[in-house]
Chain A
């Protein structure tokens, strides 16, 4: 998708910085204490997942316009990579939740939305596996992807607001972007997010290339 090597190098540099600075900077003594460091990793997983799922949605729509096989490959590999990031996001979130809320899983609209998203994309992958014909599979799964993504967005973006009882941080204002962080934390947070998103796109790119090789060799 993106040409050149500069963005891979910047992904590495940004993540190296995020991991080192993420553990070495002093964080302000807020209610979350030292556990706020998880924001550099856990939130990064969700950022990467959202970007990848959005790409998957866009490429599904593009497939429905032009019926090009390469659009379908991007859509499925973006979803595959996003599922991995989603699972890591849930695991990192559970570790944080155990230390902050005292339980690995609590009842909260944001957590429910995250799990529902994982189920939707696992179902998407099972749907793909159950159809043998390549073009039919691409078309059916593109329809499901576009339909499910919009319904899931309504779950993730609207529900926590109408329910009005999320205990998850970052509840106010624009989703994901208005976390209440100190300047010190912000200097690590934004580079870390960019790094995780670039890493996600990199992994997706590798998977797309692998998928194309497998298709052309008939395996």
Chain B
């Protein structure tokens, strides 16, 4: 267990160093986010209502997440993956990728919400609930998408494959998180919200556990 923690720490550090070395990748992602929000700003030339704000925000975040996470296995070549496999266990590699993607998505979602508040107005009524939705939503998105990115990368680095594989299975998470976030934008009833948070946490845990069990099969040839 101790060696697993050490492997995860080293591998996650490696992901960060790689990202800082190739700054154009993260900068590209930031520009993608900014232009997507700018397009929605231009498309609606008035203040939009809370449900529209909510739907647009999460759809944009989904696309940013698919773009951001899909690179996690495409970026390095297969020979380097073989090298990692000889020095660390598949579980450590999987968990380090998930951890790195979670941090990346947290930063991106906070930035996205800041930009959205700036450009599209501020309908948030319960900031704490909204931040909880952001936190759980970006963790869940990044763990599902990390697993799908691993599958898509083994099937030949095809980006449209990543999208069609991930969109339908991301739906339970996305709809739940959109429900919570919509509750954070309206004054009215919050009766259902604790149930939805429980569902969201359960999905998060289930996805990481499933990935932990299934990833080793993807790894070996």
Contact = CB atoms under 8 A, between A and B. Distances in A.
B176 A159 contact: yes
A136 B156 CA distance: 11
Most buried by A among B172, B175, B221: B172
B165 interface: yes
Contact of B151 (A120, A140, A158, A163): A140
Q: Is the contact region of chain A dominated by helix, strand, or loop, or is it mixed?
A: helix
Given A116-B171, A164-B192, A127 B221 contact: no
B47 interface: no
B151 A136 contact: no
Contacts of A136: 154, 221
Contacts of A164: 192
Most buried by B among A151, A152, A164: A151
B172 A159 contact: yes
Which of the four size classes fits the interface of chain B? 20 to 34
Given A116-B171, A119-B168, A130 B210 contact: no
Contact of A142 (B147, B172, B210, B217): B217
B214 A143 contact: yes
Interface of B: 144, 147-148, 151, 154-156, 158, 161, 164-165, 167-169, 171-172, 175-176, 179, 192, 195-196, 199, 202-203, 206-207, 210-211, 214, 217-218, 221
Interface of A: 64, 112, 116-117, 119-120, 122-123, 126-127, 130-131, 136, 139-140, 142-144, 146-148, 150-152, 154-155, 158-159, 162-164
